[in-house]
Structure 1
Amino acid sequence: MNRLSRSFAALALASLVLSGVTAQAKEKKPKQKKNEDLSANPLAGVNSKQPDKVLYDKAMIAMKKGKYDVARLDLQTMLNTYPDSEYRMRAKLAVGDSWFKEGGTAALTQAESEYKDFITFFPNAPEAAEAQMKVGDIYYEQMEKPDRDYNNAQDAEKEYRTMINMFPDSPLIPRAKQKLRDVQEVLAERETQIGLYYGARENFPASIARLQTVVDTYPLYSKSDQALLAIGDAYAGEAHAVQIAPNIPGAVRERLHSVYQDKAAAAYDRVITRYPMAPHVEDARDRLVAMNRPVPEPTDAAVAENDAEQKSMQPIRFTNRALDIIKRGPTVVQAPHVGEPTLDDPKRTLAPDVTKENMALYTAAFNAGKPAATTAVTPTGPNEPPRSDQPSAAPELAAPAGGTGVGVTIVNAPNGDASSAPSGNEAAPAAGAAADPNALVKPVGPTNETLPPVDKPAEAPNQTNDIKPGTAQQQTAADAAKKKPKANLDDESSSKKKKKKGLGKLNPF
């Protein structure tokens, strides 16, 4: 009986407890105001009822819900109504964010314009680095695969470099550097693919130019060892082409072959010394052994540096390859996450420069066995002592001071004394004087120095219509007054005076 009563008491107590619990569960807790998640709003935690703050929060809520046009309208209203608000910088930046989140080519272009305006108006604000970072993100989101248009990748690289150089103390620098490594991975992949394409078609200068640009500009590229290995193979291909080329002398062929082999070995050496933990190191060692060249040993610092780079790279998985087929942008999981990216592009290596270098090597190889060209020897001057290696200048004969320069001055005659000879200051003998018959040397010039008469031009023939001087008759005034005699017209017949015939002769009229 006691046990039964105890069991009933326990059941009753349990039912009471359950009923109280259910009653409490049915009671509704007072509804609390839902706290919106404004993680993108750095001013959400600020408890303020100011109208500008209310408009800003309202715009942030609309942006989170995807109502970007409503958000922009509220932000523009706040900026126009409260130009001196303490939230104007965040509102101006949020306008660009609304365009950026909306997406699309036109919206992203508008977002870039808003961010650039923000940097112009607030260059010293901490948010300026964020605006510049988002300008780079605009082009980063529009990047294509390495085998397609690369203009967006180049613009993204330029904007990220600008952000790192302009705002070196910003907390966004690590993220900007990683984005820059990703972009440079895409650009390096593009150049490497083009270089390998030229190498497969034995266009070695073009292949070397592209691959050398990759090695010099993007040292953190995940396939830099492959690019260096391809450079060595291109030089080895040029060495083989020289070895089998016809019409080249044997000595020249050997010199060129040795030069190209040295360049190939230098590329293989760099693979081992710079990227000792890369996958293609063993290939470089094998090539050096096949060329009978020494294999270098990398330093401990190079091993540690490359090991950190290799460990920071993520391998490409099946999901990455599947997404690469679907998505628009490139896959950058292989980009390293350590090391300093290149902030300034070095000078690019161009194919014409490589071709000119090859021509210089050919010229040097052809001229290696020839003697050096001798330089022209300049003679010594008239007042300089003669030297054994240079001839002296021949003396010049000057004409006598008082003569014409023709003939020879007699210093001394056999039958005369020296005083009879004219000195250099005396005048020469006259032209018409007789020559000395006892002179040892006779003058060379002509004896007759009379000049021929000057030739005059022939007179022009007289014209028939011209009047000779002195023959013209002078007409005086008296002669002009004389009348000319009348002509005798008796023998002429006319209508007024006509010879009469027959009986008419008798008529006097």
Structure 2
Amino acid sequence: MNRLSRSFAVLALASLVLSGVTAQAKEKNPKHKKNQDLSANPLANVNSKQPDKELFDKAMVAMKKGKYDVARLDLQTMLNTYPDSEYRMRAKLAVGDSWFKEGGTAALTQAESEYKDFITFFPNAPEAAEAQMKVGDIYYQQMEKPDRDWNNAQDAEKEYRTMINMFPDSPLIPRAKQKLRDVQEVLAERETQIGLYYGAKENFPASIARLQTVVDTYPLYSRSDQALLAIGDAYAGEARMVQIAPGINPAVRERLHTLYEDKAAAAYAKVITRYPMAPRVEDARDRLVAMNKPVPEPTDAAVAENDAEQKSERPIRFTDNILGIIKRGPTVVEAAHVGEPSLDDPKRTLAPDITKENIALFNEAANAGKPATAAPVTPTGPNEPPRSDQPSAAPELAAPAGGSGVGVTIVNAPNGNASAPSGTEAAPATGAAADPNALVKPVGPTNEALPPVDKPAEAPDQVNDIKPGTAQQQTAADAAKKKPKANLDEESSSKKKKKKGLGKLNPF
């Protein structure tokens, strides 16, 4: 019995000890509420109990719970009640954030307006870059696929470029550049698809225009090698069309074919020199070899640059294709993550420009080997020496002193008695006797000595022979003279004409 009682006593004591330990383990220390700033504003004071901060924190709590209209009401109350609050700038930005998080076309339009107002009122604040970045994000979220409407993509590209140019020192610049690369990937994909479609329809000028725009504007496009290869194929297609076109001179046909092949070879060569690590480099090499054109070698810098671009691009996976079918926006996983995106949009290449280029190539081929057209020249002056490349005007002859300037002497045949024209003197014969049968003597004077130059006589002094009073008397005498009457018999008058015919019967 003693042993049994002892056993029960030990068990009871053990149970009491276990129950005490379990009760102590279940007891928990009371939690102390931490003082946290819900707005996460670096300007805020954690322990502050100011009314403007209370309203701001209340609005932030409502925004986290998805009550955007309540949050906007609290923020507007704070802005109207405390216009000089230190939370004024953050509250103004938070109003735009509430519209941005709410989503929808109307809400995003209102968010853009709020962000633009913030940039206008606080252009030098660090949050201005954040506001401009979110304006670009508004259009980025509304982007369509490359084969759909591209207005939102164009607006997103414009806003991101504005953000990078206006706030180059912002910490958001790397993110803005990556967003810009994504947007430019979508725009380049759209232009490439259109260019390939025109190429399939053999509309080569339109195809070249679209693809050339892609190559010039978006060098970081993941399929730039494909665009350049398509440009070369388009020029090669134009060369084939020249070969089968009727009515072209064979020499002109051959020269034009060579010009188009040179342009195609230049496009293939650029694939090798600019994108040496791209998947379609071997296709470009094969085309150059088939055309008997030299194959260029890329530089080490070009190889390193393109290798970094290729490694930064992520290939499309099966899940990306499935999500691309479901979601609204485009898939931009293939966009490059290195390199500087294009910040300036160059002039677009248009199809009429390519057509003018084709006309210039045809004229160049047609005029090859022909002499250049001489520019119109102006004749030289009357007394200037003539030139071999310019016509000259007829010379102006001056009359010799003491003569009439005719330069010939007319003689009477056959007796040889010369008679000079009136007002001239007959030139004496010198040297050999003149031919008696000649009608006209040689041109020019026969005498070698020039006549002396006579000084003209001085003009006599003017003498006024009119006596005083004579001019007045003569004027008065002339005025006194009467005008002779006109002789009416000599003048023609209708009254004195004789009537003829039936006019004789008319008494009037």
- The two structures have a TM-score, normalised by structure 2, of 0.77
- Name the counterpart of 1:96: 96
Matched to 1:460, the amino acid is S
Give, in whole Å, the separation in 2 of the partners of 1:209 and 1:8. 102
- Name the counterpart of 2:423: 422
- Name the counterpart of 1:188: 188
Give, in whole Å, the separation in 1 of the partners of 2:223 and 2:169. 31
- Name the counterpart of 2:63: 63
Answer with 1 or 2: which has the greater Rg: 1
CA positional deviation for 1:344: 0.5
Q: Cα deviations across residues 114-172 of structure 1 (Å, max 9, x unaligned)?
A: 11111111111111111111111111111111111111111111111111011000000
Preserved CA contact (<8 Å) 2:39 2:57: no
- Name the counterpart of 1:434: none
Give, in whole Å, the separation in 2 of the partners of 1:457 and 1:108. 103
Secondary structure of residue in 1 paired with 2:33:
coil
Give, in whole Å, the separation in 1 of the partners of 2:271 and 2:250. 32
Give, in whole Å, the separation in 1 of the partners of 2:24 and 2:50. 40
Give, in whole Å, the separation in 1 of the partners of 2:329 and 2:143. 6
CA positional deviation for 1:372: 2.8
- Name the counterpart of 2:350: 350
CA positional deviation for 1:461: 4.8
CA positional deviation for 1:25: 4.4
Q: Cα deviations across residues 392-426 of structure 1 (Å, max 9, x unaligned)?
A: 4323468999xxx9x999889976887x94259xx
> What runs of 5+ residues in structure 1 fail to find an aligned partner?
425-439, 442-455, 465-509
> What runs of 5+ residues in structure 2 fail to find an aligned partner?
426-438, 441-489, 499-508
What is the aligned residue count? Answer: 434
| Structure 2 CA distance for partners of 1:417 and 1:286, relative to 1, 3 Å | closer
Q: Cα deviations across residues 61-80 of structure 1 (Å, max 9, x unaligned)?
A: 00000000100011111111
Preserved CA contact (<8 Å) 2:35 2:47: no
- Name the counterpart of 2:444: none
Give, in whole Å, the separation in 1 of the partners of 2:491 and 2:202. 83
- Name the counterpart of 1:293: 293
Give, in whole Å, the separation in 2 of the partners of 1:45 and 1:12. 58
Matches within 5 A, 1:317-356: 317-356=317-356
| Structure 2 CA distance for partners of 1:134 and 1:42, relative to 1, 3 Å | farther
Preserved CA contact (<8 Å) 2:99 2:111: yes
Give, in whole Å, the separation in 1 of the partners of 2:13 and 2:299. 81
Give, in whole Å, the separation in 1 of the partners of 2:376 and 2:85. 85
Give, in whole Å, the separation in 2 of the partners of 1:13 and 1:108. 72
Secondary structure of residue in 1 paired with 2:54:
helix
Matched to 1:61, the amino acid is V
| Structure 2 CA distance for partners of 1:104 and 1:375, relative to 1, 3 Å | closer
Give, in whole Å, the separation in 2 of the partners of 1:411 and 1:64. 125
Matched to 1:59, the amino acid is A
Matched to 2:351, the amino acid is A
Matches within 5 A, 1:63-212: 63-212=63-212
| Structure 2 CA distance for partners of 1:17 and 1:347, relative to 1, 3 Å | farther
Q: Cα deviations across residues 296-343 of structure 1 (Å, max 9, x unaligned)?
A: 211111111111111111111111111111111111111111110000
- The two structures have a TM-score, normalised by structure 1, of 0.77
| Structure 2 CA distance for partners of 1:67 and 1:240, relative to 1, 3 Å | same
| Structure 2 CA distance for partners of 1:390 and 1:359, relative to 1, 3 Å | closer
| Structure 2 CA distance for partners of 1:270 and 1:46, relative to 1, 3 Å | farther
Give, in whole Å, the separation in 2 of the partners of 1:214 and 1:162. 21
Preserved CA contact (<8 Å) 1:239 1:260: yes
Preserved CA contact (<8 Å) 1:59 1:70: yes
Preserved CA contact (<8 Å) 1:207 1:234: yes
| Structure 2 CA distance for partners of 1:266 and 1:416, relative to 1, 3 Å | closer
Give, in whole Å, the separation in 2 of the partners of 1:123 and 1:238. 54
Q: Cα deviations across residues 422-469 of structure 1 (Å, max 9, x unaligned)?
A: 259xxxxxxxxxxxxxxx99xxxxxxxxxxxxxx995325699xxxxx
Give, in whole Å, the separation in 2 of the partners of 1:41 and 1:275. 47
Q: How much identity, in percent, do the aligned residues show?
A: 84
- Name the counterpart of 1:247: 247
Matched to 1:225, the amino acid is D
| Structure 2 CA distance for partners of 1:8 and 1:255, relative to 1, 3 Å | farther
| Structure 2 CA distance for partners of 1:127 and 1:38, relative to 1, 3 Å | same
Preserved CA contact (<8 Å) 1:96 1:111: yes
Preserved CA contact (<8 Å) 1:41 1:60: no
1:367 aligned to 2:401? no
Q: Cα RMSD between the aligned structures?
A: 3.5
| Structure 2 CA distance for partners of 1:21 and 1:138, relative to 1, 3 Å | farther
1:459 aligned to 2:493? yes
Matched to 1:422, the amino acid is G
Give, in whole Å, the separation in 1 of the partners of 2:326 and 2:215. 31
Give, in whole Å, the separation in 1 of the partners of 2:44 and 2:4. 63
1:52 aligned to 2:47? no
| Structure 2 CA distance for partners of 1:106 and 1:387, relative to 1, 3 Å | closer
Preserved CA contact (<8 Å) 1:411 1:421: no
Preserved CA contact (<8 Å) 1:410 1:421: no
CA positional deviation for 1:278: 1.1
1:274 aligned to 2:274? yes
Matched to 1:57, the amino acid is D
| Structure 2 CA distance for partners of 1:256 and 1:141, relative to 1, 3 Å | same
Give, in whole Å, the separation in 2 of the partners of 1:255 and 1:4. 124
- Name the counterpart of 2:302: 302
Give, in whole Å, the separation in 1 of the partners of 2:362 and 2:156. 42
